[in-house]
Structures are given as structure tokens and as C-alpha cells.
Structure 1
């Protein structure tokens, strides 16, 4: 790919619109732009998680999550260029395989857990919740302009992977899961 951005600012968005890869100009709050923005936010948060995992030497989780940053960039490309297709079913299957391996080690949940216990666990859960937000924005867009089934499956499966990753990070750190404790019911 050649050098595409010779200038970072273009002034073409100052009026509240932005350009898509297919040449359309849409408002910056268009559902497609909202979806692109949420995917971008997730990618940035995932970068923070990967940096923390590198500092802690938890390479097993990093090795699974690192390609996800690239695939999120691909998803952003699909969102920006509606006829472009980059993701495929093999990537969804890769996430499912990782989920299955980690879930086999962890065993079933017996209670709800909180996004807590360590910084990295909480950060993985922040990524998971951001993935859910990105998924909702993609589904909102899908109701107006259909997206590929693979892209929708990918963002859904990624949030599942991040949930299990948070649990496996805790296991690797030797940190117990923080179990949810229901509030005491008010007496009558």
C-alpha cells in the first residue's frame, strides 16, 4: 500500500460530514461513522491491554489477541468501504477455538464475576464491554445498510473471547475471580 495520507488534516470535515471509501459524504454522526468510531475505540483499548500483557509476560493471551487488532482494522475498512470484504469465517473459527481451549481449562462459571481483581483483568473486561458497544453500533447500522454475516459474527465472538481472556489472565496472574454478591433485600 502506498503513502495515502500526505496531510493529516484536510478541512473537508469541518462542516460536520466525512467521506466514505465509496465516495459518499455522510454526517459524522451517521450510524456507519458511529460503528467505525466504536471499532476504533475498541482497537485502541485492545492496544492498552496488549501493552499490559507484554509487560507482565503473558504471551499466550497476547498471541491470541494481537491478530485481533489487525482484524479490527479490517472491520473498520469494511465499514468505511461498504463493498470491501476482508474478514472471513476462518477468523471467527480461530476465536472460537481459543475460547474453547481456555474454557476447557477454566471450567464453567458458578456465579457472576465482576470486572475486577487486577488491572489487566479489569482492562480485558473494559475491552469486552467496548466490543459489545461496537457490536450494538454495527447492528444498528445493519438494520439500515446490511453488513456481512461474518463481520457481525466476528465482533460478537470477539467480545466472548475477551470475557474468557479476562478469566484466563486472572488464572495466569494467580488472582481469584471477584464474585458478585447480591445486595441484601430490604426487610419488609
Structure 2
């Protein structure tokens, strides 16, 4: 099987179950932005040190990347069709628990944090902003088509998780967290 199909050469793509839509459709923008976020998370993980102290964080990010893939599939599925792996409230609760765990290892925020520090932390901040865009795209899509409301919640919490994870990486690597001095 070849990787290229040539079926998108005229500006359309297929959704799950085969419906054809323009490549600029809100649904395509939403799931495409989730794919972007997933790629940036992969980049962030590639710059983490390869030692055992990062195993738990890597393990949870594997779950996050899988969930983002599922969200992409859900957003690529027309509203009248069945979704293979729907995002559920439990997924949001797991993100919240991870946010609380990582945040428990961090000093309280006293200033606005600027993206930067360790390369992995900086990439996690980029992922955070891409996830925020994915959330906006999903909300935009929900104004005209049915979208699982838990998808929007998950994306919202994921951006919070990425913020805390970036702070955590900076803390564990001994990098000074850039902040806005007033």
C-alpha cells in the first residue's frame, strides 16, 4: 500500500466512514489541530533526558497522546456515526489528578510564567498553545455540528496539564522558570 492516495489533490479529504469534505472544514481544522498538538508533545518528549526519573511522566504522556489520537478520530467522525473510542469524564478526571500531583511538587506561582527554560518545557508550552487552538476549533465546530462536550473539557484540562508539566520539567531539570517581572 502506498502512503499517497492522490484523493486529496482537489482540496477535499475523507472523514471517518468516508464522507468527503473540504480540507478547510471546521471538523478538519479541529482534528488537524489535535494532530499538531500531538506532534509537539512528541517533540517535547524527545528532548527529555532518557533516564528513569522521567518514566512516569513519559508513561502518562503516552496516555495523553493516545487520547489526543482518539479525540482526533472522534472529531473526524460525522455526528450521526458511532465513535470507536469516545472521550469520557473519567479521562478528564485522570488529567485533573495528574495536574494536582505535578503541581504538588512545584512552588506556588508568584508571577506570570513565560515559556522557556529547558527545551522540553518550552516545547510543552508550544503544545499548550496548540491545544488551546484545538479547543477553540472544537468549540467553533460545536456551534454548527454536534461535538462531544467532554472533548472540549478534555482539551481545556490538557492545556492546564501541559502548563503544569512544563513547570515541572523546568523544576526537575534545575532550569530557572522565566517569569514576567512586574
- Distance of 1:54 and 1:73 partners within structure 2: 25
Residue-pair matches, total: 177
- Which residue of 2 is the match for residue 40 of structure 1? 35
C-alpha root-mean-square deviation of aligned residues, in Å?
A: 1.6
- Which residue of 2 is the match for residue 25 of structure 1? 20
Superimposed CA distance per residue, residues 95-115 of structure 1 (whole angstroms, 9 cap, x where no aligned partner): 100101112221431110110
Report 1:71-82 matches (<5 A): 71-82=67-78
Contact 1:32 1:80 in 2 (8 A): yes
Superimposed CA distance per residue, residues 73-107 of structure 1 (whole angstroms, 9 cap, x where no aligned partner): 10111011133152111111111001011122214
Distance 1:56 1:135, change over 3 A: farther
Worse-superposed segment, 141-150 or 101-110:
101-110
Give the structure-2-normalised TM-score: 0.90
Report 1:1-188 matches (<5 A): 6-55=1-50, 57=52, 58-82=54-78, 83=81, 84=83, 85-182=85-182
Shift of 1:64: 1.9
Contact 1:125 1:162 in 2 (8 A): yes
- Distance of 1:81 and 1:107 partners within structure 2: 42
- Distance of 1:7 and 1:117 partners within structure 2: 41
- Distance of 1:152 and 1:17 partners within structure 2: 25
Larger of the two Rg values belongs to structure: 1
Contact 2:118 2:169 in 1 (8 A): no
**Unpaired runs of at least 5, structure 1:** 1-5, 183-188
Give the structure-1-normalised TM-score: 0.87
- Secondary structure of 1:100's counterpart equals helix
- Secondary structure of 1:105's counterpart equals coil
**Unpaired runs of at least 5, structure 2:** none
